[in-house]
Amino acid sequence: VLVEIDPQAFQQKVTQAERRLDEDQAELARHAQDAKNNAVLLEKARTDLAEYRKEYERVRGLKAKGVATESDVTKATLELRRYDDQVIVLENRKRLLPLEEQKLLKRRAVHQADLILVQLELEHATVKAPFSGVLGDVHVEQGQYVRPGDALVRLVDDSRIEIPIFLTATDFERVRALLESAAGPLVELAT
């Protein structure tokens, strides 16, 4: 690990994204219950409308026989329209429910994508070296603010060490001959 950015802010974003997904799930559950409730109310409203239609026809029949007044027929007509309006409102609501569900599902998909992004940010809060090595140069100090792209350190891969040496033409020919042979040159390092 080369650098660790304080993960607290990133962890908070992950928690917020998870809570938004929980809210979406609760909203979808509420929506499903709302659809069930609407179906029950619609069925009841249709039953009430059918019953009141019978009552309306009965009042009209009484009017035709001269037992009921025009006022009774008007009241029955207005009441019938009220029940009819209730059925229309509930049927309209039933037609809107699938659109609301699509909206909730799309919002949940956006929140899932947000969660993936903030989890990536949290993972990137820890910067690791791409290979095992040693620090060659450090370009920043602890607590210093940096921008994306700023050099932080220079890593030296210590699994292979190259040391430039200067050879004369004669020595070069001897080293080349050793390199071309299967044995290779024997090298010793000394301070």
Q: How far, in Å, CA of 98 to CA of 96, rounded?
A: 6
Contacts of 26 (CB under 8 A, 6+ apart): none
Q: Is 185 left (phi over 0), alpha (psi -120 to 50) or beta?
A: beta
Alpha-helix residue ranges (DSSP H) falling in the chain: 8-65, 70-123, 169-180
Cα torsion angle, 51, 52, 53, 56, sign: positive
What's the pLDDT at 185?
A: 72
Residue 102 has pLDDT above 90, yes or no: yes
Residue 36, token pair as written in the block: 């069930």
Q: Where are the beta strands (DSSP E) in 12-63?
A: none
The predicted pLDDT at position 57 comes to 95
pLDDT single digits (tens) 60-75? 999 999 999 999 999 9
Higher pLDDT, 62 or 146: 62
Helix (H) or strand (E) holding 148: none
Task: Give the separation between CA 131 and CA 153, rounded to whole angstroms.
Answer: 13
Range scoring the smallest mean pLDDT among 36-45, 98-107, 160-169, 177-186: 177-186
The one-letter amino acid code at 6 reads D
pLDDT score of 110 = 97
Q: Is residue 104 very low, low, confident or very high in pLDDT (cuts 50, 70, 90)?
A: very high
Between CA 110 and CA 113 the distance in angstroms is 5
| Residue 164 pLDDT > 80 | yes
Residue that has been written with the tokens 């409730």 in this structure = 37
- Mean pLDDT, rounded, for 9-20: 94
CA separation, residue 94 to residues 43, 80, 97 (Å): 12, 21, 5
Report the half-sphere exposure of 20 (CA within 13 A, side-chain side).
20
Q: Which residues of 20-36 are buried (b: 16+ CB within 10 A; e: fewer)?
A: bbeebeebbeebeeeee
Contact assessment for residue 146 and residue 140, using Cβ atoms and an 8 Å cutoff: yes
- Residue 45 C-alpha from the chain's centroid: 40
